[in-house]
Amino acid sequence: MINQRFIWPFVFYFTVSAASAVYRPYIVLYYQSISLTGAQIGLLVGAAPLVSMISLPLLAELADRTDRHKWVMSLSLLVLVLCLFLFPFLRIFALLFALSIVLTIFLSPVFPFANSATMVMMGDKKAQFGRVRLGGTLGFSVAAAVAGTLVESFGFRLAFWGAALIYLIAFFINLKLIYSKGKQASRPEKGPTIELLKSRRYLILLLVGFAGGISFASNNTYLFPYLNELGAEESLMGFALTIGTIAEIPVLFFAGRFIKRFKAYGILLFSTVMIALRFLLFVLAINPSTVLFIQLLHGVTHPLLAVAGVTYADEQAPSGFQATAQSLFNTALGGIGAAFGGFAGGLLFERFGAKGMYLAFSLMTLAILLIVILVKRTLPNTPDSLLSELQTSPDAEGD
């Protein structure tokens, strides 16, 4: 019998990832269909996530201090439902920009809060986090395959409204998640956000998260326009996403073993190298069929990096502030990195085309990798621990 502490997080990841697959890959194509310029598209997909730099850490620290994680998550999911329902009705740039900011604010807590709840519910089985996270891979894969055909037949409205319906289902599943266990552990008087941002050890995580965010933005925002530039049809676009997400399955299934053997830092480094390689291969691709093979590398890029980052953040978080630690990592990953990738990607795509954009991203990722290695060399030759650097309690097991 499957323990409920695994099944509910698994189902939640399946649902919210399916919602993402239904609408996010088509959002740039929708903007193009209503004749927005490249600069406007770049601003829409790039500027709005910057808001999460402020909103997500504040929401997470508020939830940690008040133990209202479930309330914040429930509100966020309901706002997402409303925003996605309204999206297809808006064609004025200013209104789309405002709605995209609201959408970003309330989308930002979904995965970091789910990561925090999953770690709490798994208890001493945290090493199996990658297997629970497979729910997201399966949900994204199934939804991407179906959405491609449906959007091709019925248009972009179905993408937004379908995602709204799926997020409504996620709202009810969230009621089954557990965000803390009984009485809260004692917490430091001051919040950890500023201190974590001062840590060189955490800087490594944020830099790698930034590179992962660029990978996330390029895959979820510009993969379809890139394939369109190569002459692919919508059904093949959905198939390309399906191949990428299926490639995650063996990687996430054995992620715990990888992290145990090579440590979180080693996995983060490896994933960053794979991100740069994948960008370069996109530059060299000559047709849509070639891209299908490149998509097999998807599992060892952003997904593996995200699992290693979640594990690292949870292990090192000050007691009682797991959601805050996860939110800061997610801010670099899905906020700053994704915002930069979206905004810069729009400008680069318009001026140099998809291959020029991917070449620039490849070089940028290699530069980030070099900085990470240099920062690592400045650290004391001691076990990786944010807590030792911050001189806080070593208890990072959570509530």
Structure tokens at 145: 């395959």
Residue spans of the domains in the chain: they are: 4-180+191-390
Instruction: Give the pLDDT score at 395.
Output: 39
What mean pLDDT do residues 249-264 have?
A: 86
Structure tokens at 265: 């830092």
Q: Flag whether pLDDT at 16 surpasses 60.
A: yes
- pLDDT tens for residues 144-167? 878 878 887 778 888 999 999 999
Q: Flag whether pLDDT at 338 surpasses 90.
A: no
What mean pLDDT do residues 82-88 have?
A: 93
Q: Flag whether pLDDT at 139 surpasses 70.
A: yes
Q: Which residue has the tokens 């490249």?
A: 38
Gyration radius (Cα) of the chain, Å: 20
Pick the CATH number of 4-180+191-390 from 3.30.2130.10, 3.30.300.20, 1.10.8.60, 1.20.1250.20: 1.20.1250.20
Cα distance between residue 327 and residue 310, in whole Å: 10
Q: Flag whether pLDDT at 359 surpasses 90.
A: yes
Instruction: Place 10 in a pLDDT band, splitting at 50, 70 and 90.
Output: very high
Q: Which residue has the tokens 């939804």?
A: 143
**Number of CB atoms found within 10 A of residue 150's CB:** 16
Residue 113: which of 81, 74, 140, 80 has the closest Cα?
A: 74
What residue type is 175 in one-letter code?
A: L
Instruction: Give the pLDDT score at 276.
Output: 93
Q: What is the mean pLDDT of the chain?
A: 83
Instruction: Give the pLDDT score at 382.
Output: 54
Query: Are the beta carbons of 199 and 390 closer than 8 angstroms?
Result: yes
Three-state SS at 44: helix
- pLDDT tens for residues 265-323? 889 999 999 999 999 999 999 888 889 899 999 889 888 898 888 887 877 666 667 77
What mean pLDDT do residues 229-233 have?
A: 84
Instruction: Give the pLDDT score at 217.
Output: 80
Instruction: Give the pLDDT score at 320.
Output: 67
Instruction: Give the pLDDT score at 398.
Output: 36
In angstroms, how far is CA 189 from the centroid of its own chain?
30
What residues contact 183, with CB distance under 8 A and at least 6 apart? 399
Q: Flag whether pLDDT at 7 surpasses 80.
A: yes
Percent of the chain scored above 90 by pLDDT?
Answer: 25
Q: Flag whether pLDDT at 133 surpasses 50.
A: yes
What mean pLDDT do residues 35-61 have?
A: 80
- Mapping DSSP onto H, E and C, the string for 1-39 reads CCCHHHHHHHHHHHHHHHHHHHHHHHHHHHHHHCCCCHH
Q: Flag whether pLDDT at 84 surpasses 90.
A: yes
Cα distance between residue 331 and residue 327, in whole Å: 6
What residues contact 230, with CB distance under 8 A and at least 6 apart? 285, 287, 288, 291, 354
Instruction: Give the pLDDT score at 124.
Output: 76
Q: Whole-model pTM?
A: 0.74
Q: Flag whether pLDDT at 258 surpasses 80.
A: yes
